[in-house]
Protein backbone atom coordinates (compact mmCIF):
# COMPACT_ATOMS: atom_id res chain seq x y z
CA UNK A 1 0.00 0.00 0.00
CA UNK A 2 0.99 3.66 -0.12
CA UNK A 3 2.92 3.61 3.17
CA UNK A 4 4.83 0.33 2.67
CA UNK A 5 4.14 -3.33 3.30
CA UNK A 6 1.34 -4.60 5.54
CA UNK A 7 2.18 -6.86 8.46
CA UNK A 8 -1.07 -8.65 7.64
CA UNK A 9 -3.89 -8.22 5.12
CA UNK A 10 -6.86 -10.55 5.41
CA UNK A 11 -8.42 -9.71 2.06
CA UNK A 12 -5.08 -10.28 0.31
CA UNK A 13 -4.87 -13.66 2.05
CA UNK A 14 -8.29 -14.63 0.67
CA UNK A 15 -7.24 -13.58 -2.83
CA UNK A 16 -3.84 -15.27 -2.67
CA UNK A 17 -5.50 -18.50 -1.55
CA UNK A 18 -7.55 -18.60 -4.74
CA UNK A 19 -4.59 -17.52 -6.88
CA UNK A 20 -2.34 -20.24 -5.42
CA UNK A 21 -4.78 -22.92 -6.59
CA UNK A 22 -5.77 -21.46 -9.96
CA UNK A 23 -2.17 -20.79 -11.00
CA UNK A 24 -0.72 -24.10 -9.82
CA UNK A 25 1.34 -22.88 -6.87
CA UNK A 26 -0.40 -25.48 -4.68
CA UNK A 27 -1.79 -28.88 -5.68
CA UNK A 28 -5.59 -28.64 -5.27
CA UNK A 29 -7.88 -31.18 -3.65
CA UNK A 30 -11.67 -31.42 -3.51
CA UNK A 31 -13.78 -30.05 -2.00
CA UNK A 32 -11.38 -27.76 -0.15
CA UNK A 33 -7.63 -27.16 -0.30
CA UNK A 34 -5.44 -26.01 2.57
CA UNK A 35 -2.86 -23.37 1.68
CA UNK A 36 -0.16 -22.25 4.13
CA UNK A 37 1.01 -18.68 3.67
CA UNK A 38 3.93 -17.01 5.43
CA UNK A 39 2.93 -13.42 6.21
CA UNK A 40 5.12 -10.80 7.90
CA UNK A 41 3.18 -11.41 11.12
CA UNK A 42 3.58 -15.21 10.91
CA UNK A 43 2.05 -18.30 9.28
CA UNK A 44 -1.58 -18.16 8.15
CA UNK A 45 -3.67 -21.15 7.06
CA UNK A 46 -6.13 -20.66 4.21
CA UNK A 47 -8.99 -22.98 3.23
CA UNK A 48 -10.05 -22.61 -0.41
CA UNK A 49 -13.02 -24.31 -2.11
CA UNK A 50 -12.05 -26.34 -5.22
CA UNK A 51 -14.59 -27.90 -7.60
CA UNK A 52 -12.09 -29.87 -9.63
CA UNK A 53 -11.53 -27.06 -12.15
CA UNK A 54 -11.19 -23.74 -10.34
CA UNK A 55 -11.24 -22.13 -6.95
CA UNK A 56 -14.36 -20.58 -5.47
CA UNK A 57 -15.86 -18.60 -2.60
CA UNK A 58 -16.13 -18.13 0.28
CA UNK A 59 -12.50 -18.54 1.31
CA UNK A 60 -11.61 -18.71 4.99
CA UNK A 61 -8.38 -18.38 6.93
CA UNK A 62 -7.04 -18.84 10.43
CA UNK A 63 -4.49 -16.22 11.38
CA UNK A 64 -1.81 -15.85 14.03
CA UNK A 65 -2.92 -15.71 17.69
CA UNK A 66 -5.02 -12.61 18.36
CA UNK A 67 -5.26 -10.82 21.69
CA UNK A 68 -6.42 -7.74 23.58
CA UNK A 69 -3.46 -5.39 24.06
CA UNK A 70 -5.40 -2.79 26.06
CA UNK A 71 -8.96 -2.44 27.32
CA UNK A 72 -10.76 0.83 28.16
CA UNK A 73 -7.71 2.98 27.54
CA UNK A 74 -8.43 6.69 28.06
CA UNK A 75 -6.86 8.80 25.34
CA UNK A 76 -6.93 12.56 24.89
CA UNK A 77 -7.54 13.26 21.19
CA UNK A 78 -6.88 16.86 20.10
CA UNK A 79 -10.02 18.37 18.63
CA UNK A 80 -12.24 15.60 20.00
CA UNK A 81 -11.52 15.42 23.72
CA UNK A 82 -11.04 12.34 25.86
CA UNK A 83 -12.20 9.02 24.41
CA UNK A 84 -11.95 5.41 25.54
CA UNK A 85 -10.40 2.90 23.14
CA UNK A 86 -9.55 -0.78 23.07
CA UNK A 87 -6.42 -1.97 21.29
CA UNK A 88 -6.48 -5.38 19.67
CA UNK A 89 -3.95 -7.42 17.72
CA UNK A 90 -4.97 -9.56 14.76
CA UNK A 91 -1.70 -9.76 12.86
CA UNK A 92 -1.30 -6.02 13.34
CA UNK A 93 -2.49 -3.60 16.02
CA UNK A 94 -5.61 -1.43 15.77
CA UNK A 95 -7.35 0.99 18.08
CA UNK A 96 -11.11 0.42 18.31
CA UNK A 97 -13.86 2.75 19.44
CA UNK A 98 -17.41 3.65 18.50
CA UNK A 99 -17.75 6.53 16.07
CA UNK A 100 -20.34 7.97 18.45
CA UNK A 101 -17.56 8.86 20.90
CA UNK A 102 -16.28 11.26 18.26
CA UNK A 103 -19.71 12.69 17.50
CA UNK A 104 -20.05 10.67 14.30
CA UNK A 105 -22.11 7.82 12.89
CA UNK A 106 -20.13 5.10 11.11
CA UNK A 107 -22.99 4.44 8.70
CA UNK A 108 -24.10 7.96 7.79
CA UNK A 109 -21.28 10.43 8.48
CA UNK A 110 -19.12 11.66 5.62
CA UNK A 111 -16.15 9.38 4.96
CA UNK A 112 -13.80 12.39 5.10
CA UNK A 113 -15.01 13.18 8.62
CA UNK A 114 -14.58 9.57 9.72
CA UNK A 115 -11.08 9.44 8.24
CA UNK A 116 -10.03 12.66 9.97
CA UNK A 117 -11.35 11.49 13.34
CA UNK A 118 -9.82 8.03 13.07
CA UNK A 119 -6.47 9.48 12.04
CA UNK A 120 -6.52 11.82 15.04
CA UNK A 121 -7.15 8.83 17.31
CA UNK A 122 -4.29 6.88 15.73
CA UNK A 123 -1.84 9.72 16.28
CA UNK A 124 -3.01 10.26 19.87
CA UNK A 125 -2.70 6.58 20.76
CA UNK A 126 0.77 6.41 19.22
CA UNK A 127 1.90 9.26 21.49
CA UNK A 128 0.18 8.06 24.67
CA UNK A 129 0.51 4.26 24.67
CA UNK A 130 3.45 1.94 24.03
CA UNK A 131 2.65 -1.34 22.28
CA UNK A 132 4.36 -4.66 22.91
CA UNK A 133 4.53 -7.69 20.62
CA UNK A 134 5.44 -11.02 22.25
CA UNK A 135 7.83 -12.12 19.50
CA UNK A 136 8.69 -9.31 17.07
CA UNK A 137 9.08 -5.80 18.39
CA UNK A 138 9.20 -4.45 14.83
CA UNK A 139 5.50 -5.40 14.66
CA UNK A 140 4.73 -3.35 17.79
CA UNK A 141 3.21 -0.39 15.96
CA UNK A 142 -0.33 0.88 15.62
CA UNK A 143 -1.48 0.24 12.05
CA UNK A 144 -4.65 2.30 12.28
CA UNK A 145 -7.99 2.95 13.94
CA UNK A 146 -11.27 1.13 13.35
CA UNK A 147 -14.45 3.06 14.09
CA UNK A 148 -17.48 0.91 14.86
CA UNK A 149 -21.21 1.20 15.36
CA UNK A 150 -20.67 0.17 19.00
CA UNK A 151 -22.44 -3.17 18.62
CA UNK A 152 -19.80 -5.36 20.26
CA UNK A 153 -22.03 -7.88 22.03
CA UNK A 154 -22.84 -11.05 20.10
CA UNK A 155 -25.75 -10.68 17.70
CA UNK A 156 -27.01 -12.37 14.56
CA UNK A 157 -27.22 -9.00 12.82
CA UNK A 158 -24.11 -7.52 11.16
CA UNK A 159 -22.00 -4.93 12.92
CA UNK A 160 -20.56 -2.12 10.80
CA UNK A 161 -17.10 -0.58 10.94
CA UNK A 162 -14.63 1.46 8.93
CA UNK A 163 -10.88 0.89 9.03
CA UNK A 164 -8.54 3.84 8.48
CA UNK A 165 -4.98 2.59 8.20
CA UNK A 166 -1.46 3.55 7.08
CA UNK A 167 -1.46 7.03 5.51
CA UNK A 168 -5.19 7.77 5.92
CA UNK A 169 -6.22 4.93 3.63
CA UNK A 170 -9.70 3.43 3.94
CA UNK A 171 -10.18 -0.31 3.63
CA UNK A 172 -12.70 -1.39 1.00
CA UNK A 173 -13.59 -4.43 3.15
CA UNK A 174 -14.41 -4.95 6.84
CA UNK A 175 -10.64 -5.69 7.27
CA UNK A 176 -9.56 -9.30 7.87
CA UNK A 177 -6.91 -8.43 10.44
CA UNK A 178 -9.33 -5.97 12.02
CA UNK A 179 -12.07 -8.59 12.29
CA UNK A 180 -9.51 -10.92 13.86
CA UNK A 181 -8.52 -8.29 16.42
CA UNK A 182 -12.12 -7.26 17.14
CA UNK A 183 -13.18 -10.86 17.74
CA UNK A 184 -10.24 -11.22 20.15
CA UNK A 185 -11.40 -8.13 22.04
CA UNK A 186 -15.00 -9.33 22.20
CA UNK A 187 -13.87 -12.74 23.43
CA UNK A 188 -11.61 -11.15 26.06
CA UNK A 189 -14.55 -9.08 27.32
CA UNK A 190 -16.86 -12.10 27.46
CA UNK A 191 -19.11 -10.67 24.74
CA UNK A 192 -18.68 -13.66 22.43
CA UNK A 193 -18.01 -17.35 22.97
CA UNK A 194 -15.92 -19.81 21.00
CA UNK A 195 -17.44 -20.76 17.63
CA UNK A 196 -20.06 -18.01 17.70
CA UNK A 197 -20.01 -16.48 14.22
CA UNK A 198 -20.42 -12.74 13.79
CA UNK A 199 -20.87 -10.81 10.56
CA UNK A 200 -18.88 -7.62 9.96
CA UNK A 201 -19.83 -5.06 7.32
CA UNK A 202 -17.81 -2.30 5.67
CA UNK A 203 -19.45 1.09 6.00
CA UNK A 204 -18.06 2.15 2.61
CA UNK A 205 -18.72 -0.74 0.23
CA UNK A 206 -21.18 -2.75 2.41
CA UNK A 207 -19.11 -5.88 1.73
CA UNK A 208 -19.11 -8.43 4.54
CA UNK A 209 -16.80 -10.88 6.33
CA UNK A 210 -17.67 -13.34 9.04
CA UNK A 211 -15.45 -14.17 11.98
CA UNK A 212 -15.35 -16.52 14.93
CA UNK A 213 -12.90 -17.52 17.64
CA UNK A 214 -12.23 -21.22 17.15
CA UNK A 215 -9.90 -21.96 20.07
CA UNK A 216 -8.12 -20.33 23.00
CA UNK A 217 -4.33 -20.25 23.19
CA UNK A 218 -1.41 -18.33 24.71
CA UNK A 219 0.82 -15.87 22.90
CA UNK A 220 3.67 -14.80 25.12
CA UNK A 221 2.06 -13.42 28.27
CA UNK A 222 -1.25 -12.78 26.50
CA UNK A 223 -4.36 -14.92 26.63
CA UNK A 224 -5.14 -15.21 22.94
CA UNK A 225 -7.51 -16.86 20.48
CA UNK A 226 -7.22 -18.30 17.01
CA UNK A 227 -9.80 -16.53 14.85
CA UNK A 228 -11.25 -17.79 11.59
CA UNK A 229 -12.32 -15.17 9.04
CA UNK A 230 -14.39 -15.94 5.96
CA UNK A 231 -15.03 -13.75 2.94
CA UNK A 232 -14.99 -13.48 -0.83
CA UNK A 233 -12.29 -12.48 -3.31
CA UNK A 234 -12.74 -12.02 -7.06
CA UNK A 235 -10.48 -11.65 -10.06
CA UNK A 236 -10.64 -8.22 -11.68
CA UNK A 237 -7.86 -8.43 -14.27
CA UNK A 238 -4.23 -9.15 -15.00
CA UNK A 239 -1.32 -6.79 -15.53
CA UNK A 240 2.27 -6.90 -16.75
CA UNK A 241 4.75 -4.44 -15.28
CA UNK A 242 7.89 -3.53 -17.21
CA UNK A 243 11.03 -1.74 -15.95
CA UNK A 244 13.33 -0.03 -18.42
CA UNK A 245 16.68 0.97 -16.94
CA UNK A 246 16.69 4.41 -18.56
CA UNK A 247 13.28 5.25 -17.03
CA UNK A 248 13.92 7.97 -14.39
CA UNK A 249 10.74 6.94 -12.56
CA UNK A 250 11.31 3.18 -12.76
CA UNK A 251 11.19 2.84 -8.96
CA UNK A 252 7.82 4.52 -8.78
CA UNK A 253 6.48 7.72 -7.27
CA UNK A 254 3.85 8.72 -4.78
CA UNK A 255 0.91 10.91 -5.80
CA UNK A 256 -1.73 12.10 -3.35
What pLDDT sits at residue 218? 97
- β-pairing, 198-202 with 169-170? unpaired
**Each residue's pLDDT tens digit, 205-239:** 999 999 999 999 999 999 999 999 999 999 999 99
**What phi and psi values does residue 184 have, to the nearest 5 degrees?**
-60, -40
Please state which of the four CATH numbers 3.10.180.10, 3.10.310.10, 3.40.640.10, 1.20.1540.10 is assigned to the domain occupying 64-225. Answer: 3.10.310.10
What pLDDT sits at residue 255? 73
Q: Say what angle helices 176-188 and 10-22 make with each other, to 10 degrees.
A: 130
| Residue of 9, 39, 41, 163 marked active site | 9
Annotated catalytic, 36? no
Domain residue extents for the chain: 64-225
What pLDDT sits at residue 1? 64
pLDDT tier, 6 (very low <50, low <70, confident <90, very high otherwise)? confident
Query: Residue 163: how many CB atoms within 10 A of its CB?
Result: 28
Amino acid sequence: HGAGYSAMCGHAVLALGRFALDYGLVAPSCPETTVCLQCPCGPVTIFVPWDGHRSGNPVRFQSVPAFAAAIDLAVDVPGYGKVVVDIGYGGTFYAFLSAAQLGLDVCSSKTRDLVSAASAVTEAVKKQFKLHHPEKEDLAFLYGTILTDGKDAFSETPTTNICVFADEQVDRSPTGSGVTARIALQYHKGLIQLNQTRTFRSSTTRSMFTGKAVRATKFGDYNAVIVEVSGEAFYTGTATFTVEEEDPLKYGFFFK
